[in-house]
Structure 1
Protein backbone atom coordinates (compact mmCIF):
# COMPACT_ATOMS: atom_id res chain seq x y z
CA UNK A 1 0.00 0.00 0.00
CA UNK A 2 2.87 2.37 0.77
CA UNK A 3 4.32 1.76 -2.68
CA UNK A 4 1.03 2.78 -4.33
CA UNK A 5 0.92 5.99 -2.29
CA UNK A 6 4.52 6.74 -3.28
CA UNK A 7 3.69 6.22 -6.95
CA UNK A 8 0.70 8.59 -6.76
CA UNK A 9 2.82 11.15 -4.89
CA UNK A 10 5.45 10.90 -7.63
CA UNK A 11 2.77 11.38 -10.28
CA UNK A 12 1.37 14.45 -8.53
CA UNK A 13 4.84 15.99 -8.31
CA UNK A 14 5.53 15.39 -12.03
CA UNK A 15 2.22 16.13 -13.75
CA UNK A 16 3.84 17.65 -16.85
CA UNK A 17 6.08 14.60 -17.38
CA UNK A 18 3.12 12.25 -16.87
CA UNK A 19 1.09 14.33 -19.38
CA UNK A 20 3.87 14.04 -21.99
CA UNK A 21 4.22 10.27 -21.39
CA UNK A 22 0.43 9.88 -21.71
CA UNK A 23 0.51 11.66 -25.08
CA UNK A 24 3.44 9.53 -26.30
CA UNK A 25 1.76 6.29 -25.20
CA UNK A 26 -1.42 6.96 -27.17
CA UNK A 27 0.59 8.32 -30.12
CA UNK A 28 2.65 5.10 -30.34
CA UNK A 29 -0.49 2.96 -30.02
CA UNK A 30 -1.76 4.45 -33.29
CA UNK A 31 1.05 2.60 -35.09
CA UNK A 32 1.04 -0.54 -32.92
CA UNK A 33 -2.58 -1.71 -32.62
CA UNK A 34 -1.55 -4.64 -30.40
CA UNK A 35 -1.15 -2.16 -27.52
CA UNK A 36 -4.27 -1.88 -25.31
CA UNK A 37 -5.67 1.57 -26.16
CA UNK A 38 -8.53 1.38 -23.64
CA UNK A 39 -6.12 0.38 -20.87
CA UNK A 40 -3.79 3.26 -21.74
CA UNK A 41 -6.65 5.79 -21.76
CA UNK A 42 -8.03 4.50 -18.45
CA UNK A 43 -4.54 4.77 -16.94
CA UNK A 44 -4.25 8.31 -18.28
CA UNK A 45 -7.56 9.13 -16.63
CA UNK A 46 -6.38 7.63 -13.32
CA UNK A 47 -3.11 9.59 -13.37
CA UNK A 48 -4.28 12.90 -14.85
CA UNK A 49 -7.93 13.06 -13.88
CA UNK A 50 -10.98 13.00 -16.13
CA UNK A 51 -10.26 16.11 -18.21
CA UNK A 52 -6.47 15.68 -18.25
CA UNK A 53 -6.80 12.05 -19.32
CA UNK A 54 -9.12 12.94 -22.19
CA UNK A 55 -6.94 15.81 -23.40
CA UNK A 56 -3.67 13.83 -23.30
CA UNK A 57 -5.27 10.76 -24.92
CA UNK A 58 -6.94 12.80 -27.67
CA UNK A 59 -3.78 14.77 -28.50
CA UNK A 60 -1.56 11.69 -28.74
CA UNK A 61 -3.98 9.32 -30.44
CA UNK A 62 -5.41 11.82 -32.93
CA UNK A 63 -1.97 13.10 -33.95
CA UNK A 64 -0.71 9.53 -34.36
CA UNK A 65 -3.75 8.45 -36.38
CA UNK A 66 -3.58 11.56 -38.60
CA UNK A 67 0.14 10.94 -39.23
CA UNK A 68 -0.52 7.27 -40.09
CA UNK A 69 -3.23 8.40 -42.53
CA UNK A 70 -0.90 10.96 -44.17
CA UNK A 71 1.92 8.41 -44.51
CA UNK A 72 -0.46 5.84 -46.04
CA UNK A 73 -1.86 8.46 -48.42
CA UNK A 74 1.61 9.62 -49.49
CA UNK A 75 3.26 6.23 -49.98
CA UNK A 76 0.23 4.08 -50.84
CA UNK A 77 0.88 4.42 -54.56
CA UNK A 78 4.40 2.94 -54.37
CA UNK A 79 4.73 -0.48 -56.01
CA UNK A 80 6.18 -1.92 -52.79
CA UNK A 81 2.67 -1.91 -51.34
CA UNK A 82 1.06 -3.74 -54.27
CA UNK A 83 1.22 -7.16 -52.60
CA UNK A 84 -0.18 -5.63 -49.44
CA UNK A 85 -3.07 -4.18 -51.41
CA UNK A 86 -3.79 -7.49 -53.16
CA UNK A 87 -4.20 -9.31 -49.83
CA UNK A 88 -7.39 -9.58 -47.76
CA UNK A 89 -6.74 -5.98 -46.78
CA UNK A 90 -8.02 -4.91 -50.19
CA UNK A 91 -11.58 -5.71 -49.10
CA UNK A 92 -11.16 -3.30 -46.17
CA UNK A 93 -9.92 -0.58 -48.56
CA UNK A 94 -12.83 -1.20 -50.90
CA UNK A 95 -15.28 -0.96 -48.00
CA UNK A 96 -13.69 2.18 -46.54
CA UNK A 97 -13.71 3.94 -49.91
CA UNK A 98 -17.50 3.93 -50.04
CA UNK A 99 -18.16 5.03 -46.45
CA UNK A 100 -19.24 8.45 -45.20
CA UNK A 101 -18.33 10.49 -42.13
CA UNK A 102 -20.75 8.81 -39.72
CA UNK A 103 -19.17 5.39 -40.26
CA UNK A 104 -15.76 6.88 -39.41
CA UNK A 105 -17.15 8.18 -36.13
CA UNK A 106 -18.52 4.70 -35.44
CA UNK A 107 -15.24 2.99 -36.35
CA UNK A 108 -13.09 5.12 -34.05
CA UNK A 109 -15.55 5.15 -31.14
CA UNK A 110 -15.76 1.36 -31.08
CA UNK A 111 -12.80 -0.42 -29.40
CA UNK A 112 -13.52 -3.67 -31.27
CA UNK A 113 -12.84 -2.25 -34.74
CA UNK A 114 -9.23 -2.15 -36.01
CA UNK A 115 -8.78 1.62 -36.23
CA UNK A 116 -5.24 1.21 -37.52
CA UNK A 117 -6.48 -0.68 -40.61
CA UNK A 118 -9.22 1.89 -41.19
CA UNK A 119 -6.61 4.69 -41.07
CA UNK A 120 -4.28 2.94 -43.54
CA UNK A 121 -7.16 1.99 -45.84
CA UNK A 122 -8.41 5.60 -45.81
CA UNK A 123 -4.97 6.80 -46.88
CA UNK A 124 -4.70 4.18 -49.63
CA UNK A 125 -8.00 5.20 -51.19
CA UNK A 126 -7.17 8.92 -51.04
CA UNK A 127 -9.76 10.17 -48.58
CA UNK A 128 -9.49 13.91 -47.95
CA UNK A 129 -7.65 14.89 -44.75
CA UNK A 130 -10.16 17.69 -44.04
CA UNK A 131 -13.00 15.14 -43.96
CA UNK A 132 -11.07 12.30 -42.30
CA UNK A 133 -9.68 14.20 -39.29
CA UNK A 134 -12.89 15.76 -37.84
CA UNK A 135 -14.80 12.47 -37.93
CA UNK A 136 -11.84 10.55 -36.51
CA UNK A 137 -11.47 13.08 -33.66
CA UNK A 138 -15.18 12.90 -32.79
CA UNK A 139 -15.12 9.09 -32.78
CA UNK A 140 -12.02 8.86 -30.60
CA UNK A 141 -13.31 11.55 -28.24
CA UNK A 142 -16.45 9.51 -27.52
CA UNK A 143 -14.35 6.44 -26.73
CA UNK A 144 -11.89 8.42 -24.58
CA UNK A 145 -14.60 10.20 -22.56
CA UNK A 146 -16.03 6.86 -21.44
CA UNK A 147 -12.62 5.29 -20.77
CA UNK A 148 -11.26 8.33 -18.93
CA UNK A 149 -14.44 8.53 -16.85
CA UNK A 150 -13.85 4.97 -15.61
CA UNK A 151 -10.13 5.57 -15.00
CA UNK A 152 -10.67 8.83 -13.13
CA UNK A 153 -12.72 7.21 -10.36
CA UNK A 154 -12.11 3.49 -10.66
CA UNK A 155 -13.00 2.67 -7.04
CA UNK A 156 -16.22 4.69 -7.20
CA UNK A 157 -17.04 3.08 -10.54
CA UNK A 158 -16.71 -0.48 -9.25
CA UNK A 159 -18.77 0.42 -6.16
CA UNK A 160 -21.67 1.66 -8.30
CA UNK A 161 -23.79 -1.14 -9.85
CA UNK A 162 -25.65 1.39 -12.03
CA UNK A 163 -22.43 2.72 -13.57
CA UNK A 164 -21.07 -0.80 -14.07
CA UNK A 165 -24.27 -2.00 -15.75
CA UNK A 166 -24.44 1.10 -17.98
CA UNK A 167 -20.85 0.74 -19.15
CA UNK A 168 -21.32 -3.03 -19.49
CA UNK A 169 -24.27 -2.44 -21.84
CA UNK A 170 -22.20 0.04 -23.85
CA UNK A 171 -19.42 -2.54 -24.18
CA UNK A 172 -21.85 -5.25 -25.32
CA UNK A 173 -23.50 -2.93 -27.88
CA UNK A 174 -20.05 -1.78 -29.03
CA UNK A 175 -18.92 -5.41 -29.39
CA UNK A 176 -21.98 -6.33 -31.48
CA UNK A 177 -21.52 -3.29 -33.76
CA UNK A 178 -17.77 -3.94 -34.03
CA UNK A 179 -18.30 -7.60 -34.88
CA UNK A 180 -20.88 -6.69 -37.51
CA UNK A 181 -18.64 -4.06 -39.14
CA UNK A 182 -15.57 -6.32 -39.03
CA UNK A 183 -17.55 -9.08 -40.71
CA UNK A 184 -18.83 -6.64 -43.34
CA UNK A 185 -15.29 -5.40 -44.07
CA UNK A 186 -13.92 -8.94 -44.41
CA UNK A 187 -16.71 -10.13 -46.73
CA UNK A 188 -17.06 -6.97 -48.77
CA UNK A 189 -16.98 -7.79 -52.47
CA UNK A 190 -14.51 -5.69 -54.42
CA UNK A 191 -16.23 -4.04 -57.34
CA UNK A 192 -14.79 -3.78 -60.81
CA UNK A 193 -14.09 -0.11 -60.22
CA UNK A 194 -10.55 1.07 -59.57
CA UNK A 195 -10.02 0.96 -55.82
CA UNK A 196 -6.77 2.92 -55.59
CA UNK A 197 -6.76 6.27 -57.20
Structure 2
Protein backbone atom coordinates (compact mmCIF):
# COMPACT_ATOMS: atom_id res chain seq x y z
CA UNK A 1 0.00 0.00 0.00
CA UNK A 2 1.27 3.45 -0.90
CA UNK A 3 1.56 5.81 2.07
CA UNK A 4 2.64 9.41 2.39
CA UNK A 5 5.63 8.41 4.52
CA UNK A 6 6.60 5.68 2.06
CA UNK A 7 6.60 8.14 -0.85
CA UNK A 8 8.51 10.73 1.19
CA UNK A 9 11.14 8.08 2.06
CA UNK A 10 11.37 7.09 -1.61
CA UNK A 11 11.90 10.72 -2.61
CA UNK A 12 14.62 11.06 0.05
CA UNK A 13 16.46 7.94 -1.18
CA UNK A 14 16.48 9.20 -4.74
CA UNK A 15 16.75 12.92 -4.02
CA UNK A 16 18.56 13.69 -7.28
CA UNK A 17 15.93 11.79 -9.26
CA UNK A 18 13.03 12.63 -6.95
CA UNK A 19 11.52 15.15 -9.31
CA UNK A 20 11.29 12.46 -12.01
CA UNK A 21 9.38 10.20 -9.63
CA UNK A 22 7.25 13.20 -8.59
CA UNK A 23 6.24 13.70 -12.23
CA UNK A 24 6.10 10.01 -13.19
CA UNK A 25 3.66 8.87 -10.47
CA UNK A 26 0.89 11.33 -11.48
CA UNK A 27 1.57 10.42 -15.12
CA UNK A 28 1.05 6.71 -14.35
CA UNK A 29 -2.12 7.55 -12.36
CA UNK A 30 -3.74 8.59 -15.64
CA UNK A 31 -3.52 4.92 -16.69
CA UNK A 32 -4.14 3.32 -13.28
CA UNK A 33 -6.95 5.18 -11.51
CA UNK A 34 -6.44 3.17 -8.31
CA UNK A 35 -3.32 5.23 -7.67
CA UNK A 36 -4.05 8.17 -5.33
CA UNK A 37 -3.46 11.45 -7.19
CA UNK A 38 -4.44 13.37 -4.05
CA UNK A 39 -1.68 11.65 -2.10
CA UNK A 40 0.86 12.37 -4.84
CA UNK A 41 -0.11 16.04 -4.85
CA UNK A 42 0.16 16.29 -1.07
CA UNK A 43 3.52 14.49 -0.90
CA UNK A 44 4.97 16.49 -3.80
CA UNK A 45 3.91 19.80 -2.28
CA UNK A 46 5.20 18.72 1.13
CA UNK A 47 8.52 17.55 -0.35
CA UNK A 48 9.18 20.33 -2.86
CA UNK A 49 7.08 23.25 -1.61
CA UNK A 50 3.79 24.48 -2.97
CA UNK A 51 5.14 25.83 -6.27
CA UNK A 52 7.46 23.02 -7.40
CA UNK A 53 5.30 20.30 -5.83
CA UNK A 54 2.26 21.61 -7.68
CA UNK A 55 4.26 21.97 -10.91
CA UNK A 56 5.61 18.39 -10.81
CA UNK A 57 2.21 16.88 -10.03
CA UNK A 58 0.53 19.10 -12.62
CA UNK A 59 3.02 18.21 -15.35
CA UNK A 60 2.70 14.48 -14.75
CA UNK A 61 -1.08 14.46 -14.42
CA UNK A 62 -1.66 16.70 -17.45
CA UNK A 63 0.76 14.82 -19.70
CA UNK A 64 -0.66 11.48 -18.56
CA UNK A 65 -4.23 12.60 -19.18
CA UNK A 66 -3.40 13.85 -22.66
CA UNK A 67 -1.48 10.68 -23.48
CA UNK A 68 -4.45 8.50 -22.44
CA UNK A 69 -6.74 10.72 -24.52
CA UNK A 70 -4.49 10.34 -27.58
CA UNK A 71 -4.24 6.55 -27.17
CA UNK A 72 -8.01 6.21 -26.87
CA UNK A 73 -8.53 8.57 -29.79
CA UNK A 74 -6.23 6.47 -31.96
CA UNK A 75 -7.31 2.99 -30.80
CA UNK A 76 -10.65 3.68 -29.12
CA UNK A 77 -12.88 2.09 -31.68
CA UNK A 78 -11.04 -1.23 -31.50
CA UNK A 79 -12.81 -4.19 -29.93
CA UNK A 80 -11.13 -3.53 -26.60
CA UNK A 81 -13.08 -0.30 -26.01
CA UNK A 82 -16.23 -0.93 -28.05
CA UNK A 83 -18.12 -2.29 -25.04
CA UNK A 84 -17.32 0.88 -23.08
CA UNK A 85 -18.61 3.02 -25.93
CA UNK A 86 -21.98 1.23 -25.77
CA UNK A 87 -22.52 1.70 -22.03
CA UNK A 88 -25.51 4.09 -21.52
CA UNK A 89 -23.74 6.43 -19.09
CA UNK A 90 -20.68 6.58 -21.31
CA UNK A 91 -22.81 7.29 -24.36
CA UNK A 92 -24.60 10.14 -22.55
CA UNK A 93 -21.32 11.68 -21.45
CA UNK A 94 -19.88 11.38 -24.96
CA UNK A 95 -23.00 13.07 -26.38
CA UNK A 96 -22.73 15.84 -23.75
CA UNK A 97 -19.09 16.44 -24.65
CA UNK A 98 -19.90 16.39 -28.37
CA UNK A 99 -22.64 19.00 -27.79
CA UNK A 100 -21.09 21.22 -25.13
CA UNK A 101 -17.39 20.82 -25.86
CA UNK A 102 -14.78 21.31 -23.16
CA UNK A 103 -17.01 22.78 -20.41
CA UNK A 104 -18.30 19.45 -19.00
CA UNK A 105 -14.76 18.10 -19.03
CA UNK A 106 -13.38 21.16 -17.29
CA UNK A 107 -16.04 20.97 -14.58
CA UNK A 108 -15.49 17.26 -14.00
CA UNK A 109 -11.70 17.62 -13.87
CA UNK A 110 -11.90 20.39 -11.24
CA UNK A 111 -13.29 17.95 -8.70
CA UNK A 112 -10.72 15.91 -6.78
CA UNK A 113 -13.10 12.94 -6.56
CA UNK A 114 -13.78 12.55 -10.28
CA UNK A 115 -12.07 9.48 -11.77
CA UNK A 116 -10.10 11.45 -14.33
CA UNK A 117 -8.98 8.32 -16.17
CA UNK A 118 -12.62 7.65 -17.06
CA UNK A 119 -13.01 11.26 -18.22
CA UNK A 120 -9.89 10.91 -20.38
CA UNK A 121 -11.19 7.71 -22.01
CA UNK A 122 -14.66 9.14 -22.62
CA UNK A 123 -13.16 12.32 -24.09
CA UNK A 124 -11.03 10.18 -26.38
CA UNK A 125 -14.16 8.41 -27.62
CA UNK A 126 -15.94 11.72 -28.26
CA UNK A 127 -15.42 14.07 -31.19
CA UNK A 128 -13.98 16.93 -29.12
CA UNK A 129 -10.94 18.52 -30.72
CA UNK A 130 -7.51 17.84 -29.27
CA UNK A 131 -7.06 21.53 -28.50
CA UNK A 132 -10.37 21.84 -26.65
CA UNK A 133 -9.63 18.73 -24.65
CA UNK A 134 -6.14 19.96 -23.76
CA UNK A 135 -7.57 23.30 -22.60
CA UNK A 136 -10.09 21.53 -20.35
CA UNK A 137 -7.36 19.31 -18.87
CA UNK A 138 -4.88 22.14 -18.36
CA UNK A 139 -7.42 24.34 -16.57
CA UNK A 140 -9.38 21.64 -14.72
CA UNK A 141 -6.28 19.89 -13.37
CA UNK A 142 -4.85 23.27 -12.39
CA UNK A 143 -7.80 23.99 -10.11
CA UNK A 144 -7.90 20.54 -8.56
CA UNK A 145 -4.18 20.03 -8.08
CA UNK A 146 -3.55 23.51 -6.74
CA UNK A 147 -6.11 22.93 -3.99
CA UNK A 148 -4.50 19.61 -3.11
CA UNK A 149 -0.99 21.12 -3.29
CA UNK A 150 -2.05 23.95 -1.01
CA UNK A 151 -3.08 21.41 1.60
CA UNK A 152 0.06 19.34 1.06
CA UNK A 153 2.50 22.23 1.23
CA UNK A 154 1.98 22.58 4.98
CA UNK A 155 0.07 19.58 6.27
CA UNK A 156 1.13 20.26 9.84
CA UNK A 157 -0.48 23.70 9.89
CA UNK A 158 -3.80 21.99 9.29
CA UNK A 159 -3.29 20.07 12.52
CA UNK A 160 -2.02 23.10 14.40
CA UNK A 161 -4.82 25.36 13.17
CA UNK A 162 -8.00 23.28 12.97
CA UNK A 163 -9.98 26.13 11.43
CA UNK A 164 -7.78 25.86 8.34
CA UNK A 165 -8.63 22.15 8.13
CA UNK A 166 -12.33 22.89 8.52
CA UNK A 167 -12.25 25.44 5.69
CA UNK A 168 -10.49 23.00 3.33
CA UNK A 169 -12.85 20.19 4.32
CA UNK A 170 -15.82 22.44 3.61
CA UNK A 171 -14.36 23.35 0.20
CA UNK A 172 -13.74 19.67 -0.59
CA UNK A 173 -17.26 18.78 0.55
CA UNK A 174 -18.74 21.54 -1.63
CA UNK A 175 -16.68 20.33 -4.60
CA UNK A 176 -17.79 16.75 -3.97
CA UNK A 177 -21.48 17.78 -3.73
CA UNK A 178 -21.21 19.95 -6.86
CA UNK A 179 -19.51 17.08 -8.69
CA UNK A 180 -22.27 14.65 -7.68
CA UNK A 181 -24.98 17.15 -8.68
CA UNK A 182 -23.32 17.69 -12.04
CA UNK A 183 -22.89 13.94 -12.52
CA UNK A 184 -26.59 13.36 -11.72
CA UNK A 185 -27.53 16.10 -14.16
CA UNK A 186 -25.47 14.42 -16.87
CA UNK A 187 -27.26 11.14 -16.22
CA UNK A 188 -30.71 12.75 -16.25
CA UNK A 189 -30.24 14.71 -19.48
CA UNK A 190 -31.25 12.86 -22.61
TM bucket normalised to smaller: 0.7 to 0.9
CA distance in 2, matches of 1:68, 1:46: 27
Shift of 1:39: 1.2
* TM-score computed with the length of structure 2 as normaliser: 0.86
Shift of 1:120: 1.1
The worse-fitting range, judged by mean Cα deviation, of 153-162 and 62-71 is 153-162
Number of residues paired by the alignment? 184
The worse-fitting range, judged by mean Cα deviation, of 8-17 and 166-175 is 8-17
Identify if the C-alpha distance between structure 1 residues 181 and 48 changes in structure 2 by more than 3 Å, giving closer, same or farther: same
The equivalent of 2:107 in structure 1 is 106
Unaligned 5+ runs, structure 1 = 1-6, 190-197
CA distance in 2, matches of 1:17, 1:113: 30
The equivalent of 1:136 in structure 2 is 137
The equivalent of 1:4 in structure 2 is none
Contact 1:113/1:182 (8 A) holds in 2: no
Larger Rg: 1
Identify if the C-alpha distance between structure 1 residues 81 and 42 changes in structure 2 by more than 3 Å, giving closer, same or farther: same
CA distance in 2, matches of 1:138, 1:48: 22
The equivalent of 1:44 in structure 2 is 44
Unaligned 5+ runs, structure 2 = 1-6
Contact 2:97/2:123 (8 A) holds in 1: yes
- Please report the RMSD computed on the Cα atoms of aligned residues, expressed in angstroms: 2.3
The equivalent of 2:20 in structure 1 is 20
Shift of 1:41: 0.7
CA distance in 2, matches of 1:112, 1:11: 25
Shift of 1:13: 7.7
